[in-house]
Structure 1
Amino acid sequence: MFKKITFLLSLIFLLPLSSSAWEIKDFNAEILMKKDGSYYVTEKITADFGYELKHGIYRDIPVKYKRGPGNYNLILNVLQVEDFEGRAYSYKVKRKGKYLSIKIGDPDKRVSGVNNYKITYLVKRGINYFKDYDELYWNVTGDEWAVPIHKASAVIYLPKGVKYEEVKLACYTGMYGSQISSCQITPHHYEVEVKTGYLQPTNGLTVLVGIPQGVLAKPSLSQIISWFLLDNWFTFIPFFALVFMGVTWFRGGKDPARGSIMPRYTSPEDLTPAEVGTLYDERADLDDITSTLINLAVKGYLKIKETESEKFLFFSKKDYLFTREKDYKEDKSLKEHERLLLEGIFGSTLEFNTLSGLKNKFYTYLPKIKEEIYRELTKKKKYFAANPDKVRLRYLTAGIVIGGIGIFTIPLVNLLSGISIILAGLIVLGFSYLMPRKTKKGVKVLADILGLREFILRAEKDRLEKMKLYNSGIFEKILPYAMVFGSADAWADTFKDIYKEPPSWYESPYYRTGFGTSLFVHDLGAGLRTMGSTFTSLPKSAGGGGSGFSGGGFSGGGFSGGGFGGGGGGAW
C-alpha cells in the first residue's frame, strides 16, 4: 500500500515538470540599425523539446505600448522564418491584443529534441528621440517565457559611419523592472556585443544604445501627428459623436422653419402662461406654474393676500393667504393643469389656505401639473413631436452612461481614450437640450408667442393709447405672460402712470402709503419666488516603450523588460 501511495505522489510531482520540460538552449539576436531610424532584427532561438512532441514554437512580441496619456504602436513586419540552414518554416502571423504573435510549425507534424528557429523582422518607430541623443531601447529576449534560457546574447550593428566610441551603452537582466546588469558588453569597431548567462523563467535581457544626434533621421511633425492619430484613433470619438448628434438633431430635433414675427397683444389660441412658457423654452418649469397661478387670480378664481405668519422683535415673516373665489371642479373652461394647480392649493373642500400650509405637501402635484402641460401641448394640440422632458431625459441618460464608460476606461486603457469618451458623453449631454422638436403647427404658434413677447418689450404709452389698450385690464391680462418672459418690470414701467391702485385679486398691508406698478411687480415677484420654494419643498424623509535613460537609461531610468520588443512565447 505504501509503495502505491509513493508512486502516485511521484506522478503528481512529476506532472508539472513534464509540462514545462522543454527549454531554450540559446537565444541570440542580431540588430542591424539603419540611418532612417528603422532596424532589422534576426532572432536565433535554439529550443530543446527533449522527448516531448511539439509542432514548434510561437513568439509573442508587443507592438502596442502605453506612452503618456495615449497609445504608441510599433511597426513590425515579419520577413522570414527559417532554420539555421535556411530551410523555411511554415508560420502564421496574427495580432493578439497588444502582441504580434508568430506561430511557427506544421500543425500536421510534430518534432522533438533540438530545433533551431531563425526569425527576421523589420522594426519601424522603434527609436526614442531626445535632445542630445537618439536611443535604441530593446528588450532582446522578452521576460514572458515560462521556460529558462540557458544563455542569451545580442549583437547591435551600429548605423553606417558610427563607431562604438561615440555611443552610450547599457544592458539589464532579470525580471521586469530589474536594474541588475548581470551582462557583459563587448564593443567592436562598428558593432556591440552583449552577453548574459542563465536566465530563469520570466527573466530577460535588455540593451540600450545611445546614438549621437543627427545620425538617425527624425520623423517630420506631420508624420508624428498622423502616427499619433492612427495610434489613438479613439481621439476621433468626440468628432464622430458631434457628427452623429448633428445628423440626429437635423433629422429629428431641428424645428421646421418659422414664419415672420408680428407683434400681438393676446395669447395665441388662448394658451395659458404655463403653455406659453413651455412652448417658448421647451420646458415646463416653476416660473410657468406660478405665473399661471397669477393668471387664475386675474381670471377671478382666487385672491392672494400678503400676511405675517411670525413676528420676532422688529422682524416678521411673510405668508400668503389664498381665498377661493370660484368653484373650479366643474368649470370646463379650465385646462387640466390649471385645475390641478387649484386642487393642490384648496383640495376638494377648502375655501382658504395659506402658503405655509402647503409646505411639504404641494410638491406631490408638481409632476402631475407638468405632465398635463406636456400632454396638452403634445398629444392634444400637437405642438411638440414628443414630450420634451422625455426626449431630453433619453439623451441625458445616454450622455451620462457614455461619460461613465469613459471614466472606467481611464484605468483600464489609458487617459486619452477615457477623456475622448467622456467628451463624447458631454457632446450628447449638450445636444439633449436641443433635441425636443416642435411640429409645423407648434412653430407657427411659437411665432405668435414671440409676437406677444415683442409687444410686451416694445409697448409704449402713446402707442397703447392709440390702440385703446392703455388700461388696467390689459395690464393685468398680459402681466402673467410678461412674467413668463422675464419682462414683468418693463411691462410694469409702461403702466406706471395709469395703474394707481392694487388689483382686486391681490392685497398687501404695505400699499397703504402708496401704490406703484414697479413696487407691485417687485413684491409679486418676491412672493412668487417664495411660493415656488414652498411648492417644491419636500418632507425630510423624502428624499510603453518609453525611454530607458531617465530622460534616458544612463541616468538610472533603464531596467530589464523596458523599451520596445520583449514579450515571450512558448511551444505548441
Structure 2
Amino acid sequence: MQEVRGVKRLLFFLVSLILLVIPLYADDGGYSIEAYKVKIEVSEENIFNIREDIDVNFITQRHGIYRKIPIKNRVTRIDGTVSQVIAKVSDVKSNTVSTYHTEGNDKVIKIGDPQVTVTGKQYYVLTYTYDLGKDVGKGYDEFYFNIIGNEWDTSISNVSFEIELPKAFDANQIDFSVGAKGNTSHQGVYYEVEENRITGYYEGSLQSGEALTIRIELPEGYFTATRDNVSWSINLNILMIFPIVILIVVLLLWLIFARNPREKIEECTYLPEGLSSAEVGMIYKGKASNKDAISLLFSLAQKGYLRIIDMRDEDSKRNLDNSFEIEKLKDYDGEDKAEEILFKGLFKRRNKVNEKNLRNTFYKTVDKVKKLVNEKDKRASVFKKSASRAKVVAIILAILAHVRITYLSFAYGGYSGQLDAVTCAIIGSTVGVMLLAININKENITLSIGLITLGVILIGGFGGITFVPLLSNYQELIPVTIINQVCYVVMFKVIQKMIKRTPYGQKLYLEIQGYKKYLENIDHRELNRLKQDHSNYFEDMLAYMMALSISQKIMEKFSNLIENPPIWYEGQNFNSNGFINRLYRMMCSVEASMSSEPSSSSGDSGGGSTGGGSGGGGGGSW
C-alpha cells in the first residue's frame, strides 16, 4: 500500500514538473537572450544614437531575430498623466543581413538571412537613431526611456546599459523601474554616475513581458529640439475641419427635420378653443413646464372649484412664510384629467391648504400634471417625432465633437491628463448643451438668464478645458480652439430651434403667437371694447397669461377692467389700481411653493513606471 502511494507521489511530481517546464519552452520562442547591452548617446536635440549588443542562444533552427521599435509612444507616469510622443527612427544598421519596414505604430527590423537558418549562440549588433523631437513636458524636460521594452517573448539575462547625456543633470532625479508594465520597483538595478554618463546593470533576468525603464527629470529647456511632428500637422487640419463638418451636419438636421416655415403672425383676441392653459404652454414652448401645470389652479378657481385667500397685508411684512391659502368649494366634476390630478393633489383628505402644506411636497403632483400634458399622444398631433430624434442626434454630435477636439488638442500639445480633460469636457459640454438647448422662450426671464449663465460657466469652465493647451507654446492650436468654440455656440442656437411642428401644431402656434402679440399691443380703445363685450376677460384669461409668462407690466393694462376682485379671490383692502401688482406677487408665491423641492443631502510631473517611457518595444525570433 505504501509502495502504491509512493508511485502516486512520484507521478504527481513528474506531472507537475512537466507542467512547469512546458510553459518555459512554450514562451521562449525557441531561443533565449543570454546578454543584452544597450548604449545610448543623447544629444541636446533630444535625438538618441542607440547601439544594442544582443547575445542569443537558439534552441531550434531560426533565421534570426526581429526588433519592434515604437514610433508612436504613449508615455505614462505613475501619477496617471499620459503624453503622446511620435518618434522618427532612422540610420538603421546591423552586423548582418537585415531588412526593416513600418508596421502599425512600430518600426520592425528583421535581422538575419532568410536563406540561412542558425542554431546555438549568435551575436547581433543593431544601431539606429531615435529622434523624439520637441520635449513634451511642461515646466520640465525629461529623459524617459525603456532601455529594454516589455514586448520581448523570451527571457533576457545579463542586461547592462550605458547612457551619456549631453550636459550636466541632477543625479538625484534618476529613477529606474523594472518588471511587468506599470511596476515602479527598481530592485536589482545597480548603476553609477560619472559626470554625464550613467552605467549599470540588472542583477536578475527579465522574463517575457518585463521591461527595464529609466526616467530622469531635467530642467526646462535642457533639450533644444524644435522639430514638430509631421503627422500631427494632418491632425491639426482634422481638428479645424472636424467641428465645421459637425456644425454643417447639425444645420442640415435642422433644415431637413426641424425647421418651421416663417409665416406672418396675425393678432388674435382669443386663444384656440378647446385647449387648457397647460396645453397652450406646452404647444408654445415645446414642453409643459411647472408654470404651465400650476396655471391650471387659476382655471379651477375661475370655474368655481376653489377660492384663493391672499394672506399678505399691504406692506407685505407679515405672513411671509404662509402668504396664501387655497380653500375647496366643491368636488371636481369636470372632464380635464390634468385639472383633476391637480385638484385631488391639493385636497387629499382636507378642504383647505396653505403655503406651508404645499412647500417641498406638492411638486410631485405638479410633475404628474406635466407628465400627462407632455404625453406622446398629445404631442404627436402638434410636434413631429423626426425633429425630436434630430435634436437628440445633434446634441450627441455636439458633445462628441467637443470631447474629441479636447482630447486631440491635449494630445497634440503634449499635455498630460487627457482623460481628466475629456471627463471635464463631457461634464461641461453635456450639462451645458442641456441647459442652453432648453427651449426657454422667455418663460421666465430670471430663470432664462440663470440657465444661460450656468450653461456658459459649465462650458467655459469645464467644457472650456479645450483652451488649456493654448497656455503652451503650441500657438497653432489657437485657430483650432477658436473655430471649435464658435461652432459649438452656433450649434447651441441651432439645437434650441429644433422643434418641428405639424401643420396643425403650426396653426395653433401662430394663433398663440397672435394672442401674445394682441396682449402686447392692446390699447385703451380695445380695453374699453372688452369692458363692454367681455367684462370678465382678464379673469377668464389669467391662467393662459400665466402659462405664456405675460409680464406684470402688460397685465396692469387691464386694471381698468377690474372693478371688483374675482369671485375666487379673497384679500384685504381691495384697490383696482394695486390689485394686479398684489395678484402677480401672489401668483409668484403660489408657483414657487407648489414647485419647490427639498434640497438633496449629501502638482508635480509624476514619476516613471516600467514600460511607461518612449522606445524599448520588443522582439522575437523568426
Post-superposition Cα deviations, 1:249-287, rounded to whole Å, max 9, x if no partner, equal: 44333x313323343321145543222211222111232
For the residue of structure 1 that corresponds to 2:55, the secondary structure is strand
State the match for 2:160 in structure 1. 152
Instruction: Report the alpha carbon displacement of residue 501 of structure 1 after superposing the two structures with TM.
Output: 0.9
- Name which of structure 1's ranges 277-286 and 65-74 shifts more when overlaid on structure 2: 65-74
Amino acid at match of 1:44: D
- Alignment map for 1:464-483 (pairs within 5 Å): 464-465=527-528, 472-483=535-546
For the residue of structure 2 that corresponds to 1:564, the secondary structure is coil
- 1:428 and 1:66, CA in 2 relative to 1: closer, same or farther beyond 3 A? farther
Is the contact made by 2:101 and 2:109 (CA closer than 8 Å) also made in structure 1? yes
Instruction: Report the alpha carbon displacement of residue 503 of structure 1 after superposing the two structures with TM.
Output: 1.9
Is the contact made by 1:375 and 1:387 (CA closer than 8 Å) also made in structure 2? no
Question: How many angstroms apart in 2 are the aligned matches of 1:290 and 1:445?
Answer: 21
State the match for 2:489 in structure 1. none
- Name which of structure 1's ranges 263-272 and 363-372 shifts more when overlaid on structure 2: 363-372
Q: Which ranges of structure 1 fall in alignment gaps of 5 or more residues?
A: 159-163, 330-337, 538-549
- 1:508 and 1:74, CA in 2 relative to 1: closer, same or farther beyond 3 A? same
| Residue 87, structure 1, aligned to residue 97, structure 2 | yes
For the residue of structure 2 that corresponds to 1:182, the secondary structure is strand
Question: How many angstroms apart in 1 are the aligned matches of 2:365 and 2:387?
Answer: 21
State the match for 2:256 in structure 1. 251
* Equivalent residue in structure 2 for 1:283, among 272, 277, 287: 287
State the match for 1:541 in structure 2. none
Instruction: Report the alpha carbon displacement of residue 387 of structure 1 after superposing the two structures with TM.
Output: 9.9
Is the contact made by 1:56 and 1:111 (CA closer than 8 Å) also made in structure 2? yes
| Residue 261, structure 1, aligned to residue 265, structure 2 | yes
| Residue 386, structure 1, aligned to residue 349, structure 2 | no
Question: How many angstroms apart in 1 are the aligned matches of 2:102 and 2:88?
Answer: 11
| Residue 218, structure 1, aligned to residue 226, structure 2 | yes
State the match for 2:591 in structure 1. 529
Question: How many angstroms apart in 2 are the aligned matches of 1:227 and 1:447?
Answer: 52
Amino acid at match of 1:304: R
Post-superposition Cα deviations, 1:347-392, rounded to whole Å, max 9, x if no partner, equal: 9xx999544799779956853664346557534xx33113999987
- 1:13 and 1:249, CA in 2 relative to 1: closer, same or farther beyond 3 A? same
Question: How many angstroms apart in 2 are the aligned matches of 1:42 and 1:212?
Answer: 27
* Equivalent residue in structure 2 for 1:416, among 392, 402, 421: 421
Instruction: Report the alpha carbon displacement of residue 194 of structure 1 after superposing the two structures with TM.
Output: 4.3
Is the contact made by 1:138 and 1:207 (CA closer than 8 Å) also made in structure 2? yes
* Equivalent residue in structure 2 for 1:341, among 306, 319, 339: 339
Amino acid at match of 2:587: G
Is the contact made by 1:282 and 1:436 (CA closer than 8 Å) also made in structure 2? yes
Question: How many angstroms apart in 2 are the aligned matches of 1:213 and 1:531?
Answer: 62
Larger RCO, structure (CA 8 Å, separation 6 or more): 2
Instruction: Report the alpha carbon displacement of residue 64 of structure 1 after superposing the two structures with TM.
Output: 2.1
State the match for 2:309 in structure 1. 306
Is the contact made by 2:145 and 2:616 (CA closer than 8 Å) also made in structure 1? yes
Amino acid at match of 2:510: A
Query: How many corresponding residue pairs?
Result: 519
- 1:513 and 1:131, CA in 2 relative to 1: closer, same or farther beyond 3 A? closer
Question: How many angstroms apart in 2 are the aligned matches of 1:44 and 1:131?
Answer: 34
Question: How many angstroms apart in 2 are the aligned matches of 1:352 and 1:502?
Answer: 26
State the match for 1:73 in structure 2. 85
Instruction: Report the alpha carbon displacement of residue 13 of structure 1 after superposing the two structures with TM.
Output: 5.1
For the residue of structure 1 that corresponds to 2:269, the secondary structure is coil
Question: How many angstroms apart in 1 are the aligned matches of 2:386 and 2:299?
Answer: 24
- Name which of structure 1's ranges 495-504 and 107-116 shifts more when overlaid on structure 2: 107-116
Question: How many angstroms apart in 2 are the aligned matches of 1:457 and 1:508?
Answer: 28
Question: How many angstroms apart in 2 are the aligned matches of 1:129 and 1:344?
Answer: 62
State the match for 1:451 in structure 2. 514
- 1:64 and 1:232, CA in 2 relative to 1: closer, same or farther beyond 3 A? farther
- Name which of structure 1's ranges 259-268 and 140-149 shifts more when overlaid on structure 2: 140-149
Question: How many angstroms apart in 1 are the aligned matches of 2:299 and 2:131?
Answer: 75
Report the aligned-residue RMSD.
5.8
Instruction: Report the alpha carbon displacement of residue 525 of structure 1 after superposing the two structures with TM.
Output: 0.8
* Equivalent residue in structure 2 for 1:320, among 322, 326, 346: 326
- Alignment map for 1:169-180 (pairs within 5 Å): 175=178, 176=184, 178=186
Question: How many angstroms apart in 1 are the aligned matches of 2:177 and 2:551?
Answer: 79
Is the contact made by 1:237 and 1:424 (CA closer than 8 Å) also made in structure 2? no
Amino acid at match of 2:205: Q
Normalised by the length of structure 1, the TM-score is 0.67
Q: Which ranges of structure 2 fall in alignment gaps of 5 or more residues?
A: 179-183, 312-317, 411-415, 439-495, 599-603
Amino acid at match of 1:260: K
Amino acid at match of 1:306: I
| Residue 564, structure 1, aligned to residue 614, structure 2 | yes
Amino acid at match of 1:508: E
Instruction: Report the alpha carbon displacement of residue 485 of structure 1 after superposing the two structures with TM.
Output: 2.6
Structure possessing the higher radius of gyration over alpha carbons: 1
Is the contact made by 2:133 and 2:225 (CA closer than 8 Å) also made in structure 1? no
Question: How many angstroms apart in 2 are the aligned matches of 1:524 and 1:498?
Answer: 19
- Name which of structure 1's ranges 271-280 and 36-45 shifts more when overlaid on structure 2: 36-45
- 1:231 and 1:33, CA in 2 relative to 1: closer, same or farther beyond 3 A? farther
Amino acid at match of 1:532: M
Amino acid at match of 1:290: I
- 1:31 and 1:525, CA in 2 relative to 1: closer, same or farther beyond 3 A? same
Is the contact made by 2:177 and 2:212 (CA closer than 8 Å) also made in structure 1? yes
For the residue of structure 2 that corresponds to 1:495, the secondary structure is helix
Instruction: Report the alpha carbon displacement of residue 500 of structure 1 after superposing the two structures with TM.
Output: 2.4
Question: How many angstroms apart in 2 are the aligned matches of 1:7 and 1:362?
Answer: 75
Is the contact made by 1:29 and 1:153 (CA closer than 8 Å) also made in structure 2? yes
Q: % of aligned pairs identical?
A: 20
